[in-house]
Structure formats: C-alpha cells, structure tokens
Structure 1
Amino acid sequence: MSSMSRGRAALAGVTAAVVAIGVAEPVAVLTGPRSAPLIAVGGLVVDVVPEPLKQFAIAVFGTYDKIALLVGTAVLLAAIAALLGVLAARRLRFGLAGIAAFAALGVAAALTRAGADALDALPSLVGGALGALTLWAFVAGPLREAAAPSTPPSPPAAALARDEAPAGWEPQEAAGDESRRRFLRGVGLLAGTAAVAGLGGHWLAGRRGVSAAREAVRLPTPVAPAPPVPAGADLAVDRLAPFVTPNREFYRIDTALVVPQVDPATWRLRIHGRVRRPLELSFDDLLARPMVERHITLACVSNEVGGDLIGNARWLGVPIRELLDEVEPEEGADQVVGRSVDGWTCGTPTAVLRDGRDALLAVGMNGEPLPVEHGFPVRMVVPGLYGYVSACKWVTELELTSFADFDAYWVPRGWSAQGPIKTESRIDTPRRRDRLTAGPVTVAGVAWAQHRGIRRVEVRVDDGPWHEATLAPTVSVDTWVQWSWRWDATPGDHTLQVRATDAAGETQPAQRRPVAPDGATGWHTVPVEVG
C-alpha cells in the first residue's frame, strides 16, 4: 500500500489522465482527429445520450453545445481520474485497471465511427499506456518518494534537552515542504509536457486542414443568378436580424465534434441505390455543371419558439432535381438518403427534391466557397424542410431507398421521418425585459414559412386585439420576411405577442409544443416594462 496522501494520489491520477490525453493528440495527427480519445468518446456520447438531455444541451448552450459537451466530458474524466489515483494509492492494480478500461472505451469509440480502421485505435492505446506508466511512476516507481509525504524522525531527547538538533536533521514542516515541492515539480513537468504535446498535435491537425484548398476554389458564375434583394427587404432596425445572415453568424447544429476536413481534390459523390443509372461525380465534375443561385432560409428543428437557430443565405449549387433525373429513380424509391463523410444521414422525400423547388447541392454561401463548418466542399440545401431531414453537410452519398426500408440518423431517436417547416414568427425588438420609454416604439421581427411564404403578421399587446404588421418585401417564398409595427407604448408592464399566417391561409397555433418530434409551435411572447 502506498503512503501517499489522498490529495497527492488524486492529483497523480489527474496527471496520468492529462498525459494520456495529451500524448494521444499528436498520434491522432497521423490517424485523424476523430480518433483522439476525448473526441471519439464525445462522439459516442452524442450518439447514445438520451434525446431529452441532448435537447436540454441545445436549449441551454445553443451553438456552443459541442464545446459544453467536451468541457463536461473533460471535467467528468478529471473527477474519475482523481478517484482512480486514490484507488491506485491503496492497490495499484485498481488504478491501472481503471485506465485500461478507459483506454478500451476510447478504442471502441474510435473503431465504431463511420469509416474507421484499425489504426484509429492507436491514439487511445498509446495514451492509455503512457497514462498507466505515469500512474505507476507516482505510486510505485521513481516518483514514489516525491509523492509520499516525508515524516522525518524526531531528534534525540538529549539533543532536545540541549536545545540543539543533530546534523542533517530538519523540522518536519520543512521536510514536508520539500516533499511537496518535489511532487509538484513532477506533476508540473509531466502535465506541462503533455499539454504542450496536446496543443502541438492540435496545431498540426489544423495545419492538415483544408483551409488552403478552400481558398483556392474559384466558384463558377451561375447560369441563373439569385434575384436581386428588393429595396426595403432589410429594415435596418437595431437588433433586428439582417435579411442575409453573415456566414460567421449563421447557426451551426450538427453531430460533428470535430469539423470534417474534406479535400475537394479527393471528394466524390455517389448517387446510387434504387436507380437505373448510378452516377459518381468529382468536385470538378460538379463545378462544371450549370449552377443556380438562390436566397434560402434554413431552420433547425431544435429551434424553440423565438429561438435563433435559423438563418438566411445566398446559396450557389447544382439543382438536385437534375441529378435525380439523370440517375432515373426506380418506382417506390420515395426517400433520398444523404450521407455525410462522418456517417451521419438524413432522409429527404424524393418527391420534394423533384417538385420544382430550388433544392441544391450547394458549393457556395454568400458569394464564397462553403465555410468548412457549414459543409465544405458540398452540402445539401432544401427549402421548406428542417435541416435534420435535408441539410446534409460534407455530403458524399445520395442513396435512393424508401422510408419503409431505412431510418435516417434522427428517426430512431424519436424524431419524425419527414419534417416540413412550420409557420413561425419571432419578435427581435424589443427584447425580453427591456425597459422602454412611453411613446412610439417600433416592434419588429422576422417570420417564415419556407416554400409557402408569409401572407400576414399580427401583433398584440396584453391579450388585446391583433394589429396587422407591415411586411417588408422579400426575394421569394423560400426566405424569411422582416416585419414591423408601430406601438404607442403606455407606462406599465406589458406583454407583446406575434403570430404569422402563411400564403396557404394557415395561422400558426397558439398552443406551445416542444421541438420534438417535428418542430415547436406557439406564439412568441415578450414581456417589457414601459416607464
């Protein structure tokens, strides 16, 4: 049994974990960032975590949900590593068995990812081995003396009587301080080296990314440019979402903890399955085809009432309808499964992709190649459907099948197989709990019903009568529309509500329903105070 204190044993366990994760990063440069233990296990968590917990994370953290997951995983790992350190101080084999179990979990997580091979196990194996070696060094190896608190013997009684100490003897407190310093130096050296290795590996992985390849892409001129944005489409009201969402502000919700780095030189798209004429295209093949450009608003099914998981952009791409016409789908092939390079899938109704709407294999976003985090080099964009059934990023396959034969990623997790976007509206200004001045106040926001269009937006105050807002012009039925209403605000606490009616005459319902299984409903409500 080791004589380590619990505090030092716990810190030794955490140091072993830091070493394991740190050294795994440079190894993952060779095998791919998804094979790094923290990322591999995090990806497994994303796949198996209960859906309510996943939606809670999105509701709380929004587009920072992945960072929150990685930080939470790291904190949990540190806590378990501290416990393993304490166990190892009692019985070394307990701590080593715990590290072996975590290494096995990392291996299993890495090998079960789409496209994995045997080499993907290497980061977890190397990291686990060095983590175990570190723990052994503190508990039973060369660092054991530093880890164990010193308890020097008391000086002889005769020496105490003479009020003197024998040569070489020092007070217990001083000896303990020196032991503590040796231990902390060992921890700092190992953890610091591992951190440098981890950061260096992360930097090298970034250097192997596709930023340079993206910058080299020259987008073709569309044969059908986007219609010009009409004057007045953007009301330029403070805190009102702009008509076109900048790329850097466009929401991102997906399951990829590490953004896939897909080289356009090696990218291929297979269109296969229940088709008469399978097709394979390179990136150059795709760029050589006639391109169209359209403004299209995308929305996430996880968007709560009044949420911001929605954005409008100008997309450049090849119509999917034309590609499907070429491959000639067989009768009964009512679903097109888009498959990402990381194995994620979405199922889109074949009929929707062929009904004349501007469903695109997009290569451009707001006049530049797709940002890497938004699907570079190619993604799907389909107006009128939530992203979980249509917006496949980093797409490499379109497989024709049927809804009866295949469930895409989110369907077994409780979401509807088909997800048409619901008619919604949002108040952007004033914001919740704003303190306003009595008098004229501009109430403004956005409304959307992609591929149907918005006919009317109405606002009311304190459950009073509905007042019709003024709609700004828009490009097409596939985009959101800005709206505004002038309110003569009176002093007191008030509640603003908004509802929209689409071009088919359907008004969004008042009843609040959660995002699962096919999108939230309800009127956006904003309480304000007028002084």
Structure 2
Amino acid sequence: MSSTTPRYAALAGVAAAAAAIGAAEVVAVLTGPRSAPLVAVGGLVVDAAPEPVKRFGIAVFGTYDKIALLVGTGVLLAGFAALLGVLAVRRLVVGLAGIAAFAALGAGAALTRAGADGLDVLPPLVGALVGGVTLWAFVAGPLELDPWPWSPPTEQRPPGPDEAGPQRAHEPAEAGPQHSPAPAAAGPQHSSAPDGAGPQRGADPESRRRFLTGVGAVLGVAVVGGAAGRWWAGRRGVADARAAIRLPAPVSAAPPLPAGVDLQVPGVAPFVTENRRFYRIDTALVVPQVDPQTWRLRIHGRVRNPVTLSFADLLARPMVERYVTLACVSNEVGGDLIGNARWLGVPLRELLDEVQPLDGADQVVGRSVDGWTCGTPTVVLRDGRDALLAVGMNGEPLPVAHGFPARMVVPGLYGYVSACKWITELELTSFADFDAYWVPRGWSAEGPVKTQSRIDTPRPRNRPAAGPVTVAGVAWAQHRGVRRVEVRVDGGPWQEAELAPTASVDTWVQWSWRWEATPGEHTLQVRATDAAGEAQTEQRRGVAPDGATGWHSVTLTVE
C-alpha cells in the first residue's frame, strides 16, 4: 500500500490503535482497570501535569475533569496513530516501532501505580500485539488496499517505434504482434509502481471497498470489545458486596434537623446533598474497587500500639452520625465543589487514643489504595471535633465513588489535607518528615476552610421583574459557624440577610434577603461573618495555595 493516499493510511493507523485499546481493555478485566493503557497513561499525566494545568482542568470541567482527560488522551492517541499509519505505508517497521513505543509507555505507566505487579504489563503488551497485527494486515497483509495514487494519475504517451512498451507481469518478453501495446486512443495507463515510477493504473473499487469494510469491522469489534471489557470489569467490582452490607445503628445519632433548616427556595442548593450529586474531585481516573472482605486499615508509624483493623472490626466499633459539610480547595468563589451529607463512622480521636501517638507525631498521613496521600494535623483529629473514619453516607454504605468501604471526614479542613477516600493506612509521622501528595505540587501543608458565601438565586441569566425579589444562597465556615450574612446592591450599604436555623457549626447554612428590585442592570454581592466575628475578606484570590477568597457577586438585568 506504498502509494495509498494519506487519509486511507491514517485510517489504517487509527484502526490499529483502536484494536490495541480494545484488546487491552479486555485483558484489563483480569488484571484490573488501572492497568489499561489509557487509564495508566492518564494517571501518569495527572501526576506529572504542572499544577496550573490541573487547576485549569478543574476550573473548566469541574467534576468532569477525568472524562475530559481520558477523551483528550484518546484524541491525542488517535492523532499519533494516524501519523503512524502514514509512516507505516512507507516503512512498516516505523509504524510497528511506534506501537511498541506506546506499549512500553503504557507498561511503564501501569507499573508506577500503587500496588502494581508484573501482570499489569499484560494489557499494553497484548494490545500492542493486536495493534501491530492489525496495522500489518492493512499495510502489507490480506486487507491491504490496492495502490491508490498520492496524486491524480498523469497521462502516458504511447511508446515510440524505437521504445519498448510496458510488459505485463504475466506476458513473456518474446510476445508477438498480437500482444502489441494498446494504441493511444485506449486512454492513459496507471502504474502500480511506488512514487509515480512508470505507468500507473486505476485503483480497484473492490479493493477499496474491502479495505473500508475491514476498517469498519476492526473499529466495530474494538468498540464492542472495549466496552464489554469495561462493563465486565464493573461487574467484577464491589457493587454486590456493598449492597450486602448492613450498617450498624449509631450509638450517637445525628441531632434532628431544626424546622426550616432548608428554606425550600427554588434555585438554592438543598441543605443535604444527594449522594449522586455530591461533588467528586480526586486523582483516580478509575474508581478503585476495594473488596470489604479483604480490606484492612493499618494504623502505624510513630505510635506505641500499632493496629490493623478489618472491615468487620470497624463495623463492630461504636459509631457516631453527624452532618458535616465538605469543601474542595479547588472551589472558586461562588463555585459548587462543596456538599453537605450525614456521615456515619468511628471517631478518629478514639482510634488515635488507642494507638497512642509518640511525641513529635504531629501529622497523620492517610494513604489511599491507589497511593494518594493527605496529611492532617494530629491535633485537629484529637481536639473534639467530629472527625470520622466514615463508612456511611446519607443512610447507606459509602458510594464506591466516594471512598467505599471507608474514608476520612474532617470538619473544617479542605479535602486535600483530610478527606482520604478508599483509605488503607493511617501513618503517624511529622510535617517535617513527610509531604503529602499535594504539598510538593505547591499547596499548603495545612488547609483550614475559609469563610465563604454564595448567591444561588437569582443567577446572571435570570431577568426578574421589578418589585420584590428573593436573593438567597448558602454560607459556610466549618467548625466555626456562621454568625451573619450580608448582601448589598451596586456597592451600596450592606443589608443583613435572614439565616435559616443552624444544624451545627460543621455545616453550611442557607440565607435569604428580600430585595425591592428596580429596572436596569444591577450587581449583587454577598459576604459572611463567622461566629468569632471575622468577616469574609473582599480580597479576590485564586484557589492556590490554600483556598479561594473574595466576595461572590452576580450581575443581572431587572425588567
């Protein structure tokens, strides 16, 4: 296929890459989804990407950042595969070398994942083998497209009386007059020789049809195989094990919510966030599937009495239930990377008291099954706040995407320093001795949640009528509580809003204010003051290195 058009050569390369990825997904059913090349390479990209790139991804795509990364990786792979297809037409070995290089990258990336073993290289290796065979089939094998000129064929003049005419491969050189060259009226001839050498012949429509049919079949099988592999990997997950769990009744239930804690104002976030709507920001491209039967939590490090707990051990311990609002440090001013839920778990204070931290152990490192770490101040986990090793969320076992079978929940700290999901270790160490995942990437070692407020309604796209308008939203200052929320219009005087009843100092609170709106364009601003009397700062600052600050504002037109 050395004279195939670039678009057909590129198509062959993409088909080979699709076959490789599809085959790798099938093999990853046995070795684990994290060993699939796209996921393994994507995880490597997550770890290696510059911090501004990560912040940009979260700011633009929010909770869909992982999908965006996988799609982007797939697009880049398709472009790389198309280039390999074009190069392989000239030299097949170049295309095969490119596939081998990508397999090596996938295998290396898979081996860098926490808990990886030798079997994790199988998906990229099998995928490379399938991709290489597919590329060969299109370039030099049974599916090869008959020659297709790089450029339109050029007319060939008939040979002169002293020139030897072109011989067909099956004709003997001594052919007689009955095999003389066709006259010029027979039309131009097309050559099968590469690089336009010699006469040219037309592309065979049947061969093109066979080639395109082969490409379509490969793409179809790759998509079906890849999707089936991913589906079967999910079936082999822990959904059934999670469904079989019966959570124990708490020895200390969450206090009943006071009447009116949820204002029921259209557009305002509900007081309790549904599990399926709770934000998810983490570094796991594939949600870890942790079997509760084999799960263990090891508490060790600078302690007198290290312990290891099974999930059954954990469920047998006294549980408490509390409403706690969690916020992501990547939440911009006015953002929605925050949620409130009813959590069930074992107080972390009790676990730490049992292991007895040694002097100088000022940091508790939570380590996830996928290797991610967070560093939490030991003193915060022992100061009496409802810091939990949680197993339940809103009355059911933790969703798999939110840390099943166990995770940390710590009021008043951003998730990057406290909310370890799929947790398998708690290591007592010191801030001087160990930097958790985000610290070397430029984030602060400690991350107390800042006082913030948000206008949920009206929104910029709304065009309310002049007259009374309800302005409402939420405010939070976890583990301090919110004392006051104020709103102002067009830079005028601050007006105090009405606060809904407070569930606890560890949750957000809804607020509302009645505005007599006049026609025209207006800007609304909101600020909150915590229970200690410290007002939310006006200074606008981005999320790095320890959370965004500033007043949330909304500009809208009143009709």
Normalising by the smaller structure, the TM-score range is over 0.9
Deviations 1:242-263 (A, max 9, x none): 0000111100000000000111
Shift of 1:487: 0.2
Shift of 1:82: 0.4
- Aligned match of 2:415: 387
Matched ranges for 1:254-273 at <5 A: 254-273=282-301
- Aligned match of 2:542: 514
TM-score, length-normalised on structure 2? Answer: 0.91
Q: 1:162–1:316: structure 2 CA closer, same or farther, 3 Å change rule?
A: closer
SS in 2 for 1:206: helix
Write the distance in 1 (CA, Å) between the matches of 2:117 and 2:147.
Answer: 40
SS in 1 for 2:367: strand
The one-letter code sitting in structure 2 at the alignment partner of 1:325 is: D
- Aligned match of 1:192: 220
Shift of 1:145: 3.8
- Aligned match of 2:231: 203
**2:252 maps to which of 213, 224, 242:** 224
**1:399 maps to which of 410, 427, 445:** 427
Q: 1:439–1:277: structure 2 CA closer, same or farther, 3 Å change rule?
A: same
Deviations 1:357-380 (A, max 9, x none): 000000000000000000011000
Shift of 1:175: 5.2
Q: Does 1:135 align with 2:135?
A: yes
Unaligned runs of 5+ in 1: 164-171
Moved more, 281-290 or 2-11: 2-11
- Aligned match of 2:356: 328
Q: Does 1:485 align with 2:513?
A: yes
Moved more, 382-391 or 145-154: 145-154
Q: 1:321–1:145: structure 2 CA closer, same or farther, 3 Å change rule?
A: same
Write the distance in 2 (CA, Å) between the matches of 1:268 and 1:421.
Answer: 30
Report how many aligned residue pairs link the two structures: 524
Shift of 1:200: 1.4
- Aligned match of 2:280: 252
Write the distance in 2 (CA, Å) between the matches of 1:81 and 1:161.
Answer: 44
Matched ranges for 1:440-479 at <5 A: 440-479=468-507
Q: Does 1:291 align with 2:303?
A: no
- Aligned match of 1:523: 551
Unaligned runs of 5+ in 2: 159-179, 188-199
Shift of 1:173: 11
Q: Is the 8 A contact 1:301 1:519 kept in 2?
A: yes
Write the distance in 2 (CA, Å) between the matches of 1:17 and 1:114.
Answer: 27
- Aligned match of 1:356: 384
The one-letter code sitting in structure 1 at the alignment partner of 2:522 is: H
Write the distance in 2 (CA, Å) between the matches of 1:200 and 1:249.
Answer: 27
Shift of 1:147: 7.1
Q: 1:526–1:140: structure 2 CA closer, same or farther, 3 Å change rule?
A: same
SS in 1 for 2:389: strand
The one-letter code sitting in structure 2 at the alignment partner of 1:40 is: A
Q: 1:496–1:147: structure 2 CA closer, same or farther, 3 Å change rule?
A: farther
Cα RMSD for the two superposed structures: 2.0
- Aligned match of 1:277: 305
Deviations 1:28-84 (A, max 9, x none): 011100000000000001000111111111011100000000001000100111011
Q: Is the 8 A contact 1:8 1:147 kept in 2?
A: no
Q: 1:238–1:147: structure 2 CA closer, same or farther, 3 Å change rule?
A: farther
The one-letter code sitting in structure 1 at the alignment partner of 2:558 is: V
Write the distance in 2 (CA, Å) between the matches of 1:329 and 1:297.
Answer: 28
Q: 1:146–1:186: structure 2 CA closer, same or farther, 3 Å change rule?
A: farther
Shift of 1:149: 6.2
- Aligned match of 2:240: 212
Shift of 1:179: 2.6
The one-letter code sitting in structure 1 at the alignment partner of 2:218 is: L
Q: Does 1:418 align with 2:421?
A: no
Q: Is the 8 A contact 1:357 1:383 kept in 2?
A: yes
Q: Does 1:47 align with 2:47?
A: yes
The one-letter code sitting in structure 2 at the alignment partner of 1:518 is: D
Q: Does 1:376 align with 2:404?
A: yes
Write the distance in 2 (CA, Å) between the matches of 1:381 and 1:117.
Answer: 31
Q: 1:81–1:158: structure 2 CA closer, same or farther, 3 Å change rule?
A: closer
Write the distance in 2 (CA, Å) between the matches of 1:76 and 1:162.
Answer: 47
Q: Is the 8 A contact 2:148 2:203 kept in 1?
A: no
Q: Is the 8 A contact 1:375 1:395 kept in 2?
A: yes
Write the distance in 2 (CA, Å) between the matches of 1:338 and 1:243.
Answer: 28
Deviations 1:438-474 (A, max 9, x none): 0000000000000000000000000000000000012
Q: 1:145–1:222: structure 2 CA closer, same or farther, 3 Å change rule?
A: same
Write the distance in 2 (CA, Å) between the matches of 1:41 and 1:323.
Answer: 37
The one-letter code sitting in structure 2 at the alignment partner of 1:287 is: L
The one-letter code sitting in structure 1 at the alignment partner of 2:129 is: A
- Aligned match of 1:310: 338
